[in-house]
């Protein structure tokens, strides 16, 4: 029996309201549990593509976990797809890390015990239990990134989507992030310029250029192809 893809995109095109083209005829499929890196120059369409995956930009051409990314499905879709923004300050706004992580589960109206269990598990996973009562604004950039990931993990997503997760991280921060992400067993899609880091984490790469998929395959081969274009 064929397993349906976790993510299926069929001839997706998108232009921003000012007319700027961002994506053109993008088609791809990502299997459940796959780890995939999206690479390409600035303006290639990586971030725009990610915004389609949880319906921040709705489109019937995008299906994730069996749900079309259209307005009637957005609430259900966002329980299945966790999006981690490039800037963690866009994701952290409560008075403490603990409150930030609890925010999503509470909005699902889960019982208090379930919310507490999810918060504990998520903070443990990212190594921030000792800092749970601290304001995110007093954390380092690496700690903020881990806190942002914890807010998503608390929703128990099937698909984890990350936009430039290693930006502004030093070598130690990148290594710690790799160890954390390697524990996630669902589908993972990472948009990044950090090719070596991505190749170590993701067996597959998709290369975008001017809003189009121009290469898709094993990370080593795609990374070499991209490097040759520089």
pLDDT digits (tens, 9 = 90+) for 182-203: 999 999 999 999 999 999 999 9
Three-state DSSP state, 99: helix
pLDDT digits (tens, 9 = 90+) for 153-186: 999 999 999 999 998 888 888 888 898 899 999 9
- Superfamily of segment(s) 7-229: P-loop containing nucleotide triphosphate hydrolases (3.40.50.300)
Residue boundaries of the structural domains of the chain: 7-229
Residue 229 pLDDT > 70, yes or no? no
Give the whole-angstrom CA distance, residue 3 versus residue 225: 30
According to DSSP, the residues that pair with 94 across neighbouring strands are none
Residue 36 pLDDT > 90, yes or no? yes
The residue-averaged pLDDT of 15-28 equals 94
Residue 25 pLDDT > 90, yes or no? yes
Global confidence as pTM: 0.92
Confidence label for 14 from pLDDT (cuts 50, 70 and 90): very high
Give the whole-angstrom CA distance, residue 156 versus residue 118: 8
Residue 34 pLDDT > 90, yes or no? yes
* Of the candidates 184, 167, 166, the residue with the CA atom closest to the CA atom of residue 125: 184
The residue-averaged pLDDT of 134-156 equals 93
Residue 106 pLDDT > 80, yes or no? yes
pLDDT, position 230: 58
Classify strands 67-69 and 204-209 as parallel, antiparallel or unpaired. unpaired
Q: Any idea which residue has 């409560």 for tokens?
A: 94
């Amino acid at each position: 029996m064929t397993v349906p893809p976790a993510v299926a995109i069929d001839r997706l095109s998108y232009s921003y309201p000012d007319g700027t083209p961002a994506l053109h005829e993008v088609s791809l499929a990502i299997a459940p549990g796959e780890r995939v890196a999206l690479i390409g120059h600035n303006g290639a369409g990586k971030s725009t593509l990610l915004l389609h995956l949880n319906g921040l930009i709705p489109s019937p051409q995008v299906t994730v976990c069996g749900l079309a990314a259209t307005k009637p499905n957005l609430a259900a879709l966002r329980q299945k797809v966790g999006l981690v923004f490039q800037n963690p300050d866009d994701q952290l706004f409560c008075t403490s890390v603990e409150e930030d992580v609890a925010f999503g589960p509470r909005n699902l109206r889960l019982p208090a015990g379930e919310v507490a269990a999810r918060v504990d598990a998520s903070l443990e996973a990212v190594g921030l239990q000792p800092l749970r009562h601290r304001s995110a604004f007093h954390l380092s950039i690496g700690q903020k990134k881990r806190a942002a990931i914890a807010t998503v993990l608390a929703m128990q997503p099937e698909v984890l989507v990350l936009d430039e997760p290693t930006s502004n991280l030093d070598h130690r921060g990148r290594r710690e992030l790799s160890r954390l992400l390697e524990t996630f067993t669902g589908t993972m899609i990472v948009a990044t310029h950090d090719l070596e880091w991505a190749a170590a984490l993701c067996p597959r790469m998709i290369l975008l250029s001017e809003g189009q998929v121009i290469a898709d395959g094993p990370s080593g081969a795609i990374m070499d192809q991209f490097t040759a274009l520089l």
